[in-house]
Amino acid sequence: MSKFDEVIDRRDSDSIKWGKYAGREVLPLWVADMDFAAPPAVVAALQQRIEHGVFGYGHSSPTLTQAVIDHLQGEYAWQIEAEWLVWLPGLVTGLNVACHAIDGEVLTATPIYPPFLSAPRLSGRTLNRAELRFADGRWQWDKNALENASTAETRLFLLCHPHNPVGRCWSREELLELAAFAEAKDLIVCSDEIHCGLVLDEDKRHIPFASLSPEAARRTITLMAPSKTFNVPGLGCAFAVISDPTLRRRFLRAMDGIVPHVNVLGLTACEVAYRDCSDWHDELLAYLRGNREQLITAVNAQKRAKMGPVEATYLAWIDVRELNLEKPAAHFEAHGLGLSDGADFGAPGWLRLNFGCPRETLNEALRRFAVACATA
């Protein structure tokens, strides 16, 4: 038995994911956190930090900064400098700060994690969307759509890499084309790489957008966190990596007086997760691969539901348009399954399923999924 098989009851906890369906027989496979305990080394470090008993304002210690630098070098062969780091309480904060900091219109590719759609609006920016296309069995960039969606006013490109919800781990070739596009249009790229530790395909590697070339680095705000990979999103600890000093100053100015210090427990968790948890991480990826195989087989066994490959993330993007449901998410909820509604991602008729859960939970979810499809 794997440690990830343990079913931990989250119903009476403070979980947003489980609280949504309190008192109802609905399995929540929506918001993107996993139903697994954090790595034991992280839990032990947090216990030790709590023992200290003093929880004043925190900042990144030299050992934490070094852990981040070493992690990025070790995992992605990306050499960064300590002063490029800007600590944040979350990536959504980072997306909104980027929209605040950069004057002009914003470009992104849909379907997309909903805060990419709301952040430009919240800063009074016009958002232009380019649709990704599904071709040759996978989601791809549509160069014409990108070209058509960018205007003379576009200044910021919000990139999701790996991409939530379509699960692509963008290749070097694709990233180089995006970098050339950003260069030609003179765009700042805000690259949300929160899922970078969750590449499931063993023949693929995450390539930080900013690591492509000095030109790409100069125009990039990279957003990262240990939160998804090590399942500590509630600890509120993330960071931006911005190598260009002028861009970094603009970003810091937009944060001024609005963005709080990072939670000290989040800082503790980040250091240990990046430094001491690579075995746990390997086991997690193996477990998620097993879940992914089971899920793909079960979903694609349905005549009127289908999904493509999931190269990265623990999120499946499922096409249920053939079920002809007016409210797909509500229909699946009525059959005991809480999924994210594709309409929120800019794609009505699709559903997103979070498979970061014990296999027993997933199997029950897949049973309910089949019944929901059959009764539609």
Interface positions with ligand PLP (CB under 6 A): 32, 90-92, 113, 160, 164, 192, 194, 225, 227, 233, 238
**184-187 own/partner pairs: CB under 8 Å, 24+ apart:** 185/150, 185/154, 186/155, 186/219, 187/107, 187/150, 187/154, 187/155, 187/156, 187/157, 187/219
Q: How far is the CB of 269 from ligand PLP (least distance, A)?
A: 13
Neighbouring residues of 66: CB distance < 8 A, sequence distance ≥ 6: none
Residue nearest to ligand PLP (CB): 90
Tabulate helix, strand, coil % of the chain (nearest 5).
Answer: 45, 15, 40
What would you measure as the largest C-alpha separation in the chain, in angstroms?
A: 57
At which residue do the structure tokens 């490029």 appear?
Answer: 84
For ligand PLP, the closer of residues 119 and 179 by Cβ is 119
Q: How far is the CB of 373 from ligand PLP (least distance, A)?
A: 25
For ligand PLP, the closer of residues 97 and 179 by Cβ is 97
Q: How far is the CB of 87 from ligand PLP (least distance, A)?
A: 12
For ligand PLP, the closer of residues 65 and 164 by Cβ is 164
For ligand PLP, the closer of residues 64 and 270 by Cβ is 270
Q: How far is the CB of 53 from ligand PLP (least distance, A)?
A: 27
Three-state secondary structure call for residue 144: helix
Q: Are 347 and 307 in contact (CB under 8 A)?
A: no
Q: How far is the CB of 192 from ligand PLP (least distance, A)?
A: 5
For ligand PLP, the closer of residues 238 and 372 by Cβ is 238
For ligand PLP, the closer of residues 291 and 313 by Cβ is 313
Say what the alpha-carbon torsion angle 37, 200, 193, 167 is, to the nearest 10 degrees. Answer: -110
Q: How far is the CB of 310 from ligand PLP (least distance, A)?
A: 13
Q: How far is CA 67 from CA 11, 59, 61, 122, 292, in A?
A: 34, 14, 10, 34, 30
At which residue do the structure tokens 């759609």 appear?
Answer: 117
Q: How far is the CB of 232 from ligand PLP (least distance, A)?
A: 10
Q: How far is the CB of 27 from ligand PLP (least distance, A)?
A: 18
For ligand PLP, the closer of residues 192 and 341 by Cβ is 192
**CB-based burial of residue 53 (10 Å sphere; 0-12 exposed, 13-18 middle, 19+ buried)?**
exposed
Q: Are 257 and 206 in contact (CB under 8 A)?
A: no
For ligand PLP, the closer of residues 195 and 331 by Cβ is 195
Q: How far is the CB of 322 from ligand PLP (least distance, A)?
A: 27
For ligand PLP, the closer of residues 116 and 332 by Cβ is 116
Three-state secondary structure call for residue 129: strand
**CB-based burial of residue 145 (10 Å sphere; 0-12 exposed, 13-18 middle, 19+ buried)?**
middle
